[in-house]
């Protein structure tokens, strides 16, 4: 069990999706007092049974928390939770650390940080990578932006959810790092699918091919973890296509602001938009295999 500092005992958690549920469970397992809020209480049943406290509003959750973690769907959801009436910026007490682990806009992260600082509240942007497997196993890669002192205070909390925990720099830096991550994944997913399809067209057993290429120069998390799901016909989400599209659009918008043209990302976004338009937006990103 993690050693918990005197200033970090009660943790609020908002967003119990595919990844958030496991992340919250790991925080509870680490010995923290966990308070949770989601739009539907039924989704929190297992955590409540395990001792978490249910709160029926964001403002109700914010009262008495040392840190509050959010991992919701889209930037507009982040804005509502933080900036809306009864939101975290209005309801959290001075000294609270707000940690947004949603993949969201770097500019929104900076805006939240600035508004929070004026109220004596700390804010970190800390998006994650590692999918449902990393969330369940507590091995997520976590990239953090904000004040370094706040990062250091929250480090034991991050350690309950991840293994590769890196402070990236000022507010927004975590989101910029996640954009880089998603740009890399976007082109990698196209390569993984084409490699498997090529092996099949050549009359090879793609599983046997995987045993050769996943440990060599072509090796990647996507190749080792998602290619077997493709071959099993398992397209259930570890990470939704619709959320990947959201991430890619954030990266494209940020790239435009920087004057950068990521050509591989542009192509991947077009391919995944076709998948969403065909009705598979709620499938996992490995469903690209069906369309190549």
Q: Which residues are tagged catalytic?
A: 178
Give yes or no for a contact between 127 and 103, defined as CB atoms under 8 angstroms apart: yes
- What are the backbone angles phi and psi of residue 33, rounded to the nearest 5°? -80, 115
Sort residue 131 into left (φ over 0), alpha (ψ -120 to 50) or beta. Answer: left
Helices of type H across the chain: 20-29, 45-49, 58-62, 75-83, 88-91, 106-118, 131-137, 148-159, 173-201, 206-213, 221-225, 227-231, 241-258, 263-277
Residue-wise DSSP of 31-73: T-EEEEE-SSGGGGHHHHHTTPEE-SSHHHHHTT-SEEEE--S
Q: Given CA atoms 166, 168, 171, 175 in this order, what sign does their dihedral have?
A: negative
What is the rounded CA–CA span in Å between residue 106 and residue 86? 23
Give yes or no for a contact between 11 and 65, defined as CB atoms under 8 angstroms apart: yes
What is the rounded CA–CA span in Å between residue 205 and residue 257? 45
CB atoms within 10 A of CB 292: 10
DSSP state of 240: B
What is the rounded CA–CA span in Å between residue 61 and residue 34? 10
């Amino acid at each position: 069990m993690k050693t918990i500092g005197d200033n970090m005992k009660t943790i609020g958690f908002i967003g119990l999706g595919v990844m958030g549920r496991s992340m919250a469970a790991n925080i509870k397992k680490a010995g923290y007092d966990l308070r949770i809020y989601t739009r539907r209480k039924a989704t929190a049943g297992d955590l409540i049974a395990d001792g978490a406290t249910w709160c029926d509003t964001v403002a109700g959750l914010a009262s008495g928390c040392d840190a509050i973690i959010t991992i919701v769907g889209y930037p507009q959801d982040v804005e509502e939770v933080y900036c809306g009436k009864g939101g975290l910026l209005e309801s959290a007490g001075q000294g609270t650390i707000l940690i947004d682990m949603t993949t969201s806009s770097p500019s929104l992260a900076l805006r939240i940080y600035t508004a929070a600082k004026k109220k004596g509240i700390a804010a970190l942007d800390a998006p994650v990578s590692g999918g449902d497997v990393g969330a369940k196993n507590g091995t997520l890669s976590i990239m953090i932006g904000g004040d370094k002192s706040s990062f250091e205070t929250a480090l034991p909390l991050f350690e309950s959810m991840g293994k590769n925990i890196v402070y990236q720099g000022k507010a927004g830096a975590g989101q910029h790092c996640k954009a880089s991550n998603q740009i890399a994944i976007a082109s990698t997913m196209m390569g993984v699918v084409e490699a498997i399809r090529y092996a099949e067209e050549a009359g090879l057993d793609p599983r046997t091919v995987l045993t050769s290429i996943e440990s060599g120069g072509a090796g990647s998390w996507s190749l080792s973890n998602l290619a077997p799901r493709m071959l099993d016909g398992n397209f259930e989400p570890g990470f939704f296509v619709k959320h990947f599209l959201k991430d890619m659009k954030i990266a494209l918008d940020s790239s435009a602001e920087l004057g950068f043209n990521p050509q591989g990302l542009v192509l991947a976004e077009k391919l995944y938009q076709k998948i969403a338009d065909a009705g598979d937006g709620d499938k996992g990103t490995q469903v690209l295999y069906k369309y190549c």
